[in-house]
């Protein structure tokens, strides 16, 4: 199981979802259950900066973590 994220990371994940109107940045689905995703993972030292966050729908987020979806972080 992953590390529990500090409050500033949880806050940034919530803020990015609100900023991007809960719209997945991969498939463009709007989903109220969207996830705030770290481009550079928190577990690898990724920051809570908005530049390190994006919104993913639950399906795309699962695909990403299962290795079925690649995200070019230089695109963002």
Domain residue ranges of the chain, discontinuous segments joined by +: 7-75
**pLDDT tens profile 18-41:** 999 999 999 999 999 999 999 998
Paired tokens of 43: 């577990």
Question: Which of 24-28, 40-44, 45-49, 66-70 shows the lowest per-residue confidence on average (mean pLDDT)?
Answer: 40-44
**Closest listed residue to residue 39, CA positions, set 21, 20, 27, 53:** 53
| pLDDT of 64 over the 50 cut | yes
Q: According to the model, what pLDDT value does residue 75 have?
A: 63
């Amino acid at each position: 199981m992953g590390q529990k994220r500090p409050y500033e990371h949880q806050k940034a994940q919530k803020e990015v979802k609100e900023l991007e109107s809960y719209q997945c940045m991969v498939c463009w689905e709007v989903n109220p259950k969207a996830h705030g995703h770290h481009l550079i993972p928190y577990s690898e030292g990724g920051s809570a900066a908005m530049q390190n966050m994006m919104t993913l729908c639950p399906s795309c987020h699962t695909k990403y973590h299962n290795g079925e979806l690649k995200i070019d972080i230089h695109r963002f």
